């Protein structure tokens, strides 16, 4: 087993968790879309199988909300509010910059410009509680176990490769939506 691992560096750890949760978010979105419309179709802004909004959301929870682990009520309220604001901002940004709408809550009760709804604000609060108390501790423990078996040089190579692919995908996706290509 390797005595060093990628997760010894906090910055690398955050990047790794970003990719894990961005992929899991994409998988969740894809499964929901299959359930909702009955067939697979591409979800999200990027070409690849990640939804960055989930990766960024997870990082926000890890860095700023983990200290609310013992106070589910505050975690629920703060996360519901912060993630609704974040979701609104991302929706507005994608619409303003790229003229795309990745989600539309216009038909949901108590929505704001179709960008956010009270239903999903509640969902974000519940997800935050589950994430901080159950999901992330489980993922963190298992990622640590897996990384014990992967040489540090390979860990670094893989992480840099993921970052390169993500940046390339982001640039190509921006070009596509800006109709520059």
Asked if 18 contacts 58 with a C-beta cutoff of 8 angstroms, the reply is yes
Asked if 90 contacts 116 with a C-beta cutoff of 8 angstroms, the reply is no
Mean pLDDT, residues 21-50 taken together: 90
Range of the domain at 155: 6-177
Mean pLDDT, residues 21-48 taken together: 89
Question: Is there a domain that residue 75 lies in?
Answer: yes
Question: Is there a domain that residue 1 lies in?
Answer: no
| CA dist., res. 116 & res. 148, Å (int) | 41
Question: Is there a domain that residue 81 lies in?
Answer: yes
Phi-psi category of 146—alpha, beta or left, where left has phi over 0 and alpha has psi -120 to 50?
A: alpha
Q: Is residue 99 over pLDDT 60?
A: yes
3-state secondary structure of 100: coil
Core vs surface per residue 42-69: b (16+ CB within 10 A) or e: ebbbbebebbbbbbbbbbebbeebeebe
Average pLDDT, the chain: 91
The tally of domains found in the chain comes to: 1
Mean pLDDT, residues 63-92 taken together: 95
**What tens digit of pLDDT does each residue of 117-138 get?**
999 999 999 999 999 999 999 9
Dihedrals φ, ψ of 61, to 5°? -65, -45
Q: What's this model's pTM, rounded to 2 decimal places?
A: 0.88
């Amino acid at each position: 087993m390797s005595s060093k691992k990628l997760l010894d560096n906090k910055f690398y750890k955050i990047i790794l968790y970003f990719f894990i949760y961005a992929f899991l978010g994409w998988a969740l979105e894809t499964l929901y879309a299959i359930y909702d419309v009955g067939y697979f179709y591409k979800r999200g802004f990027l070409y690849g199988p990640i939804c960055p909004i989930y990766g960024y959301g997870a990082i926000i929870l890890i860095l700023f909300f983990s200290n609310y682990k013992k106070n589910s009520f505050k975690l629920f309220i703060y996360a519901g509010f912060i993630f609704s604001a974040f979701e609104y901002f991302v929706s507005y940004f994608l619409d303003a910059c790229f003229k795309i709408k990745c989600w539309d809550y216009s038909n949901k009760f108590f929505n704001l410009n179709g960008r956010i709804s009270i239903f999903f604000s509640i969902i974000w609060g519940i997800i935050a509680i589950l994430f901080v108390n159950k999901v992330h501790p489980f993922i963190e423990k298992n990622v640590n176990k897996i990384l014990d078996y992967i040489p540090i040089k390979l860990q670094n190579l893989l992480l840099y490769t993921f970052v390169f692919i993500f940046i390339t995908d982001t640039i190509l996706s921006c070009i596509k939506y800006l109709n520059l290509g």
